[in-house]
Homo-oligomer: A and B are copies of this chain.
Amino acid sequence: VPHHWNRIMPAHSEWELIDDLRRRCGTDPRVPIGIGDDAALVCAGPSGVIVTTDMLMDGVDFIVGTTPVELIGRKCLAVNLSDMAAMAGIPTAAFVSIALPREGGRALADGLYAGLLPLAEEFGVAIAGGDTNAWEGRLVVSVTLMGEPTSRGAVRRSGARPGDRVFVTGPLGGSLASLRHCRFGPRVREAVALHAAADLHAMIDLSDGLATDIGHIARESGVGVVLDAASIPIHADVDPAADGKSRLRHALTDGEDFELAFCVSEEDAARLAQHPPAGVTLYGIGSCTERPGVRLQSEGREQPLDVEGWEHRFS
């Protein structure tokens, strides 16, 4: 948290807050210079650094006063861990920047870190810096997460090939209504285990809904994807009383599942299905085609999947 702590100070002084965070975040051999300077110094391996960043806003990604504040803090790091998982990266250090509402800001900051720090510890992430501010607006949190690729390299969205099989790591839908969008376990370990077990051609984490996100893989890889409606796992969070079509739509478009979707060769698919890595659950949901676009196969018929999912609009 290198700078601009002085933008924030309450009854407690600036020094107190920096010292408090330094204590709570500790030191880490991978971060020779951490909280308390103009910038941090983070160690890096010869293969480079994987970097991902997500900005979350009150009223969009959570609601202050409704969503428990510790879960807000947890989510702000978790979504970045999920992006790191999508590259099969191993997270190392995070930078946490916050715009706090002036009123009640210090308590809010404490609650955010109370949710964020245990998750950081669980995944071996050093908090290396950030920027904390107060303003008249609503809470905004921006986390940048660094990590390193495994010896097999980072997995991109662009390597899927026609004939590849498509998998997801868990059931989908109903995440927003259930608070699962804050409580989910990022699939970091699963991604690394899968990457060690098979040649992952392409991977993405499902933040915007399967229909949208699998479209990213299709487009970046220059392939099409056919999803098998009957194989798509529907989460227990989706109303079991709803009709089947509505339940499927939730699984395809609700978003914020934070499961992984990935593509592997038919041979690797057969091997993974038979011997999935320990602790990894896999659902085969479709395959890649030469013909572009995302289509849904149901009762022998194929129809194009409108890519909608999470789309926030402005003028």
Contact = CB atoms under 8 A, between A and B. Distances in A.
Interface residues of A, number: 88
Contacts of A78: none
Nearest to A83: B38
A223 interface: no
A49 B53 contact: no
A11 B315 CA distance: 7
Copies of this protein in the complex: 2
Interface stretch (A115-123, A167-175, A205-213, A236-244): A205-213
A24 to B, nearest CB: 18
A129 interface: yes
Contact of A55 (B131, B204, B208): B131
Contact of A98 (B55, B83, B100, B149): B55
Interface string A179-212: 0000000000000000000000001110110001
Given A15-B219, A100-B314, 14 more contacts: A3-B207, A33-B154, A37-B87, A38-B205, A39-B83, A39-B86, A41-B49, A41-B87, A46-B46, A53-B95, A53-B97, A59-B136, A60-B135, A137-B137
